Structure 1
């Protein structure tokens, strides 16, 4: 068995692993990356963020073609199958793999394809590489193995009609009806995708409302638009059992309801990928969800071992994972660019798209913060009218007395892009982070960005009229 010595070993090549590896390499360290899949990119590229967002974009284009009267000069509305739409996503995934493979090659990072196991806190065995088992040694190791769908034992995921958010990407047909259990971010996104393809969707939510961490007004807007697209949302429901046969799937809920559909998609919870690492050899224990506990420098309880990304839990976003990986590498190498990742914008790629940063109205009310809200509705902005995308709103929450911006909440086309303007101003210090910035700044016209000026004027008018 060959033995290789490195300065840093990174287990996993998703966003967290990539961020850690690149940062360590740029600082002159010799880096090895271990990836259990056949290509770099992790679950983000192959099973999660990239394929689902590419699917969403294609479905959005289909909806545009089928609902815009202008396209009737080209042809009649068309039906597109899920496998056909998936081919477009696969092209994006392949492009991402090529891009990321070049990153590692350009930075002279060695990539080992196989399964990682700890032998001790400075030694990792890589099982199943093209050359057999390999031994890697380093004093600094970062665990960035990500997560996978949680799959309860009482559901038969081997049945061809039962899927989770990974295996759904192997769906070879388009069901007429679909049950989605779990109305979190992933479940809501897939509800948008399948309903956009004309599939009748039942979305089962075990909470009182969709995405309860969102501002209530934004959550309500998502519920409205999903229902408007024929999604049946069932709140406060918990499954009792799921039974599948050659004719379909029957979901029985603890409330006594029974729902039949052609297929069933489980989107309820995720588990950290730690069970194959042999953590017992280094004295580490994962929690009941397979996640590792870290401090505010991404250090585990084992000296020299760090963890970042989905494997540590919150916020389980690709954007945050990349920064967490970079931060972990910076801390272990005593670099000056360390920062703890705590201000993370939320991007949810439903139809309509949702994004937010900062406090919600409910949080500010609970904290007794005197705030006001300024809103701009996309239907009233010229750029949205030009796009033919009138659905959406931008809401700015700000302190009534200091005018400091406290939260930005947006839904509609390009929401995940628009929110970063507000995020940048919120990060400024002194008087630069107040709502007056949007009044005193000239925006291009027509743009979606001018919604900030409209919302700011509306908000200031509300307090001026008292």
Structure 2
């Protein structure tokens, strides 16, 4: 039996983050993963695919597999540098301090002072449209495709669904996006969502909102589908981008004392502690979306707390990125939900079509929003639609975390021409509103 300070079960982004941060703090760490290190990241390769271009035969998919191996090797190098022991095998909890690891018919027990669960989640099927791996697909099944379908329907206008329709539209498929809600990306800034919906329509992505599937009929490798409202059409593939169910099969031994939610998610507090002493949980096994940024931060917080550092996860400091065309990146409060947290919100907004950078490059679609608290004049939110949004949002997260004022953001130097000018101009608009120079009427 091997003894460690911390054992991490699951080698996705959350597990890697927890193991690496614990290793950096000097802990003896064991990371256990049944497959390739990277976990859900590689099962959600469409994000990598978007960066690789348009497929030509099987070349794109072969190229992605080479990139996967390179990224996996890089992660292995990182955990080795931190002296993390990596074990390949199926891990299952024995109790709150021991994990049974089975590999190639051989069992071994890993003992640890603290255990961090990062076992991820799996897609939930719609009973009327069960996954078949051929025509009715989960997001994870996208990696099995070797041909691009001529027509495809994505059910679910969440982050995953919107990224998938963007990918297949870029690849030349005729794309439909269906959701029973009235707008895509629930919870995002309404003006940014409205702008993205308009851009999707221009890209000939068919938005079928306030609609849900009623029936399907599969024949000759295609699917006849009927939505409520008697909307009927035929498609080659359907991808169900719905809810996820936490992967908790390895936790049976501690199930009696482990509080779970409706979708089997492990319930944790803001310190990532479960209801079982000594067991922490991070990533989508806790019921959050399988988001790399949130998983990475959750892993960091869990590692520190497992070593007695006393940290909490603040969701307002963790950005959300949606890889649509153009991208969406957001962090913190919106102008419409800030009052739930006790803020009096003031918003500055700037349209990127007036940016020097946009005029020069032709990237005219975009929106920058800065949200501030009227009392403290501190930045409490930033929301960006446009090219490069994912690369600008980290600075916004740091601005909020450090409690900087809008004036600090407006005074930051930036190159010319650059997209970041949009952030500065939105900050100046927000300052004007804070000072009463610009009314909301």
Map of 1:72 onto structure 2: none
Inter-CA distance 449–465: structure 2 relative to 1 (3 Å threshold): closer
The corresponding residue for 1:52 is: 46
Classify 1:159/1:321 alpha carbon distance in 2 versus 1 (closer, same or farther; 3 Å). Answer: closer
Give the aligned partner of residue 418 of structure 2.
Answer: 447
Find the counterpart in structure 2 of residue 109 from structure 1. Answer: 84
**2:388 matched residue in structure 1:** 414
Q: 1: distance between equivalents of 2:307 and 2:339?
A: 42
Q: CA deviation at 1:242?
A: 3.4
- 2:437 is equivalent to residue 464 of structure 1: yes
SS at 2:263's partner residue?
coil
Q: Distance in 1 between matches of 2:431 and 2:29?
A: 53
Q: Cα offset for 1:402?
A: 4.5
Assess, with a 3 A threshold, how the Cα gap between structure 1 residues 36 and 151 changes in structure 2: closer, same or farther: farther
TM score, norm. by length of structure 1: 0.86
Distance, in Å, in 2 between the alignment partners of 1:241 and 1:6 is: 53
Kindly state the Cα deviation for residue 157 of structure 1 after the two structures are TM-superposed: 1.8
For the Cα contact (< 8 Å) 2:319–2:331, is it kept in 1? Answer: yes
Number of aligned pairs? 436
Shift, 1:153, TM fit: 4.1
In 2 relative to 1, CA 395–161 (structure 1 residues): closer, same or farther, beyond 3 Å?
Answer: same
Q: Is the 8 A contact 1:83 1:171 kept in 2?
A: no
Which consecutive residues of structure 2, in runs of 5 or more, have no partner in the other structure? none
Contact 2:95/2:254 (8 A) holds in 1: no
Aligned-residue offset at 1:285 = 4.8
1:307-349 CA deviation, whole Å, 9 max, x = no partner?
111111235421121121121121122136x332322111111
Q: 1:101-140 counterparts in 2 under 5 A?
A: 101-127=76-102, 129-130=103-104, 132-140=106-114
* Cα deviation, residue 265, structure 1: 0.9
Mapped partners of 1:28, 1:159: distance in 2: 44
CA contact (8 A) 2:213 2:227 kept: yes
Question: 1:208, CA displacement in angstroms?
Answer: 1.4
Flag the 1:258–1:82 CA change in 2: closer, same or farther, 3 A.
Answer: farther
TM-score by length of 2: 0.91
- Structure 1: distance between partners of 2:86 and 2:373: 50
Answer yes or no: is 1:10 the counterpart of 2:8: yes
- Cα distance in 2 between the residues matched to 1:465 and 1:284: 53
Question: More displaced, 260-269 or 370-379?
Answer: 370-379
Taking a change above 3 Å as real, the CA distance of residues 402 and 334 of structure 1, as seen in their structure-2 partners, is closer
Alignment pair present for 1:219 and 2:193: yes
SS in structure 2 opposite 1:7?
A: strand
Structure 1 residue ranges (4+ consecutive) displaced by more than 6 angstroms after TM superposition: 365-368
What aligned pairs does 1:278-357 form with structure 2 within 5 A after superposition? Answer: 278-280=252-254, 283-314=257-288, 316-335=290-309, 338-343=311-316, 344-357=318-331
Cα pair distance change 1:207/1:108, threshold 3 Å: same
1:23 matched to 2:21? The reply is yes
**CA shift in 2, pair 1:140/1:458, >3 Å:** closer
More displaced 10-residue stretch of structure 1: 383-392 or 160-169? 383-392
Q: Map 1:79-158; keep pairs closer than 5 Å.
A: 80-81=55-56, 83-127=58-102, 129-130=103-104, 132-158=106-132
